[in-house]
Every structure is written in structure tokens, then in C-alpha cells.
Structure 1
Amino acid sequence: MRMHVTFLGTSGAVPTTERNTSAVFLRREGERFLFDVGEGTQRQMMRFRTGFDVSHIFLSHLHGDHVLGLPGLCQTMDFNDREAALAVHVPPGTRRDVEALLRATSTHPAYPLRINEVRPGEVALRGDAYEVRAFRTDHRTNSVGYAVVEDERKGRFDRERAEELGVPTGPKFSELHAGDAVELADGTVVDPEQVVGAPRPGRRVVYTGDTRPTDATVEAASKADLLIHDATFADDNAERAPQTGHSTAREAASVASRAGAKRLALIHVSTRYGGYVDPLLADAREAFDGEVFVAEDGQELDVPYPDS
């Protein structure tokens, strides 16, 4: 089952000619999620061919560079005769503000639109073999991050061992892999534990939105396959990070290191760094031994299973 991420907006509060404001698109088989909707996100979706077939939008907080694209996207979906319901998940205490934003822009779509407040520690969405969990972040307003966490998968089926035990090829293989013991023609009972390995972990993708480094992020990103973290500043502007409720690239990397994450994507890049992001990368690589990169608009990547 493929999990695919497209970075639609990687700039800080102000867009540039190369970077739009915050938005990350995630596809998991038939599911399509959007994390934050900065101004111009729908155009980015057209430009990078993600399509508009999003079923859930997750807002990290209500600053303009993360939400001003929501009314236009919802209206475009309506113009395209959307019928499927759309859920917008928002931090606690912000539902009325989102409703006011949509009302102020005359956004009254014909399709069902639900605004769902989600508190840190709650499951925003339970899907087929996965959850999207909210966790506490530290910005200058009500804010949350989101972790897409897949369920454990069945262990690998040892066909060779099953054949050695006399299990005939066919339905009994499936029964054993499903966790049921089987009886052979001679009365021997074969248990699943004899031919099925230990459960295998699913994938975990974590999106912080704007935040200072937090222990909650470390916990949410434990062994994450991909951590997408605020990295607004390099060390040369480190004093600005706590003043504005953001993180430096080094701080984001420290979170990734503490969490044991495999890959780190740095986003929300200040316009100070323009097209020259080397300072961010250099700082991050001193604090994190895993793969780290500064995400670019339009960049795509697959998230493989941990054991692949």
C-alpha cells in the first residue's frame, strides 16, 4: 500500500516566487489528506497534479499563512459539483473562528462540510488500519500537530516452514496467517506461532505545523518514518525562534534525533534564506544523523514500510 507525500507550500509566513505558504498533501492508497491550507494552495494542487479529491483537512492553527486558502478551495470543490462530505479538523476552541472565516467569504457549499475540534491526545480520525492523532504543539495560539500512525501488520508467513510441518498448500496457509490453528490429516495441530513471524510496524508520518520544540512532538514522532517539522530559522537568527513561537533547523533536528525518526523534512522556511538553504541544512546535520532535507514546493516522496 503506497503512502506518498507532496509538499505544496514550504515557506514561512510570507510566500516567495519559489515557495508558497503552508500546505502538505498526503496520499495513502485511496485516502487523500491535506495538512494546512495556506493562501494559493488550490493553485499548487493544480500545478503539482494532486487533484482536489481530499476527504479530510487538518489545520494546525489559524494563522493566515495556514488557513487563508481554505475558503477558496472549498468553493472550487463546490463549483466542481463535489458531493462527498469534507471534514476539517481544527485545534480546540477554534471551530467558530473557522466557521466565521467560511461565512465571511460566503462559503456555503452544497456538499456536507463538518468542522471537528480535536484536542491534543485525541484521535482526529480512525480509518482502515490507521489513525490520525493530534498532539500538543507550542505556538502563539491554539495549535496542534498531527501524526498519521498505521496499525501493526501481520508477521511474515514462513511458507517453507509450513511445508516442512506438512501443511498443504491452499486455504490452511491463509488460516494460519490469519491467526487460526489448523489440523492436518493425521491429527497434528499446527499453531500460527510456528509459521508466522512477529507483527511488523506500520508507517508513521508526523506534521508539526508551527511550533517550538516540544516533548509531545518527540513522543508523537517516536521512530517516525517521516517527521515534517517547523524550521523557520538557522542558528544566525536563533534568538527569533522563541520570540515568534518557531523552531530553528537545529532544534527540529534535535527533536528528530530524540524521537529516533528516520527522515526529517524542514519546512516553514523564512524568506531570509531565499533560495540559499545551506545554513539550515548544516545546522540540522550537526544534530541529526538520519536523512534530512529542506522541503521544496512540488517535492514528492514515498514513505516505505520500516522493514522494506
Structure 2
Amino acid sequence: MIRVTFLGTSGAVPTVERAPSAVYLNREGDEFLFDCGEGTQRQMMRFNTGFGLSHLFVTHLHGDHVLGIPGLVQSLDFNDREAALTIHGPPGSKRHLTDLVHAAGHDPGFPVRVRELRPGAVALEREEYEVRTFRTDHRTSSVGYALVEDDRKGRFDREKAEEELNVPPGPAYGKLHEGQSVELDDGRVIRPEQVVGPPRPGRRVVYTGDTRPVDETVDAAEGADLLIHDATFLDEARDRAHKTAHSTAHEAAQTAQRAGAKRLALTHLSSRYAGQARSFEREASDAFDGDVFLPDDGDEVEVPYPDDE
């Protein structure tokens, strides 16, 4: 299970309905936070994500993406946290992120590690997936993040193994599914490809943070199950978007279409557009054939495996 909770979907200025940027992701119990705008720890309580996060991935150092770090760290400390927290950020961010961790002279009682990452780096490597960085284009040092799962084993055709090839149930099935040939009592050798289908793709969730449309997002989001893309403005304000290094809903949709993404979440909505979610979805739908939506704070999205849909 991958569950994404949108904790903050506003642009630089929060509104009554929308908090600054923060997205919580739970992958099979591994919990991550992408960006941490002001008040994120309260949003985590409000929307029941819990505080089990192990890694915080920061896209850039603008206040609406990082000013929640002091409050989050102190809330974790007040709850007697002992486990380490790793904060990842773009080049040049380590000193500033460290200062935020220790804001107001606070010295957390649990380990907090701060890392700088260049675009194209592996931020986190696990047995079944990676979190990778990619280049984004904002007005400061910035990166986006892609959680990319490894391919999974092909499906094991039990019916063929048992009824057509007369492979007895038991350890042989496990060996074949692991890619090992097995020799039966009658001398026949059964190869894995006879009973195991082709590898099945894992899932891919991509978060851009604030950015202009860039080719690197297209590459990172190739075939993505969910692309969470900056869509600060409607297309009527595309000059403003270009000047402030943001994207319009239409531009985010064009990126998703080029990438072949399955779903597109539009985030970082400018406060000037309060109550106009349908306009964003309609504009994006003109350029994107997949599922597009503009989440509200607190919305949850589950990302299934492609072959489970």
C-alpha cells in the first residue's frame, strides 16, 4: 500500500482552507514527508498521519516549504521520540536546515541528520525501492523527488505448473518463482520462464515542489502512477508563472501527458484562486488524458500496483 495524504496544498500565502506545502507518504509502513510548511505538525494530527516519519525531503528553502520544521522537530521531541530523523535538501541547504532544526535554541533529544543532495542522486535506497532527486527550475536551489519501486516478480502460473507440467506442490514452486530451475523425480528440468510471467512494474510517485515545466520532470515521471506537480496559476497568468518560476495547471498537465503519467495532482494553488478548483481541473484536463484532480488539505490517495487496478 502507498497512501499519500495532502497536508498542505496552498501556494506561498496560506488560506483558511489550505495550509502551506506538505505531503505525507506511507509506503508499506515507511513514512515520509515532502516539504514542511508552517503548521505541518498540526495538519499531521488533524489528518491522522501519525508522527512515524523517518525522512523529510525538502525541495527548496522558501518559507512556505520549510517554516514548519522547527515546530515539527519540537513536537517530535515533546513526544519523547528516540528514532533518528533524516532531512534531505538541495545543494546549499544544509546550514539553513540545521538552523531551522535548532530554532529558538532548541536542541532535540533525538538524532537529526541533514543531507544535501544534487539532482540525479539517490536520496534513499531500500531493498524494494529508491527515492531519487531530479532537477527542477525555481528561483533558488531546488530538487524534486521520485519514489521508484523495483520491478516485482512475474506471476506464478500454479495451474500450468501443477496440471500441465505435473510439478508437485511444495519447495519447487518457491524455487521456480525465485528464478531457479528444478529437476523433477522423472528427470525433467522445469525452467522458471515456463511457469513465471514477465516482471511486473512497481509503482512510481513523483513530487516536484515549485518549478517551471522541465524535461527532467518528464524523465522522472515516465509512466508515473501519481505525479504531484506545481500548478500555482491558471493559464491566463502564464506570464506571472514564468516570472515567478512556477507552472500553470495547463503546463503541469502537458508535463504529465509527455511523461505518460496515470494520475496528476495539482498543488501549490495561489490564494488568488480560492474556490476555483474546477477551473484548474478543467484547464488541466484539456492537455492530459489521465486522471487529474486538485486535492484539498486532508485528501488521501491510495496508489495501487498497475496490474491491480
Unaligned runs of 5+ in 1: none
Distance of 1:39 and 1:105 partners within structure 2: 15
- Note if contact 1:118-1:124 (Cα within 8 Å) is conserved in structure 2: yes
Map 1:44-83 to 2 at 5 A. Answer: 44-83=43-82
Q: How many residues align structurally?
A: 307
Q: Percent of aligned pairs with the same residue?
A: 66
Distance of 1:68 and 1:17 partners within structure 2: 18
Where 1:105 maps in the other structure, the secondary structure is helix
Distance of 2:236 and 2:255 partners within structure 1: 19
Alignment partner, residue 146 of structure 2: 147
Distance of 1:109 and 1:271 partners within structure 2: 34
Distance of 1:166 and 1:183 partners within structure 2: 12
Map 1:272-283 to 2 at 5 A. Answer: 272-283=272-283
Shift of 1:46: 0.4
Where 2:305 maps in the other structure, the secondary structure is coil
Larger mean Cα displacement after TM superposition, 103-112 or 165-174? 103-112
Distance of 1:286 and 1:206 partners within structure 2: 21
Shift of 1:108: 1.5
- Note if contact 1:166-1:184 (Cα within 8 Å) is conserved in structure 2: no
Alignment partner, residue 176 of structure 2: 176
Where 2:102 maps in the other structure, the secondary structure is helix
Distance of 1:20 and 1:238 partners within structure 2: 23
Larger mean Cα displacement after TM superposition, 277-286 or 85-94? 277-286
Unaligned runs of 5+ in 2: none
- Note if contact 1:205-1:224 (Cα within 8 Å) is conserved in structure 2: yes
Distance of 1:223 and 1:139 partners within structure 2: 24
Counterpart code for 1:166: N
Q: TM-score, normalised by structure 2?
A: 0.98
Indicate yes or no: 2:42 matched with 1:43.
yes
Distance of 2:28 and 2:174 partners within structure 1: 23
Shift of 1:103: 3.0
Distance of 1:104 and 1:7 partners within structure 2: 26
Alignment partner, residue 307 of structure 1: 307
Q: TM-score, normalised by structure 1?
A: 0.98
Distance of 2:217 and 2:15 partners within structure 1: 28
Alignment partner, residue 292 of structure 1: 292
Alignment partner, residue 216 of structure 2: 216
Shift of 1:128: 2.9
- Note if contact 2:102-2:108 (Cα within 8 Å) is conserved in structure 1: no
Indicate yes or no: 2:175 matched with 1:201.
no
Map 1:1-308 to 2 at 5 A. Answer: 2-163=1-162, 164-308=164-308
Where 2:301 maps in the other structure, the secondary structure is strand
Shift of 1:106: 2.0
RMSD of equivalent CA atoms: 0.8
- Note if contact 1:74-1:107 (Cα within 8 Å) is conserved in structure 2: no
- Note if contact 2:70-2:103 (Cα within 8 Å) is conserved in structure 1: no
Where 2:160 maps in the other structure, the secondary structure is helix
Counterpart code for 1:171: P
Shift of 1:104: 3.5
Counterpart code for 2:208: T
Distance of 1:228 and 1:30 partners within structure 2: 21
Q: Deviations over 1:63-94 (max 9, x none)?
A: 00000000110011011110001000000111
- Note if contact 1:208-1:229 (Cα within 8 Å) is conserved in structure 2: yes
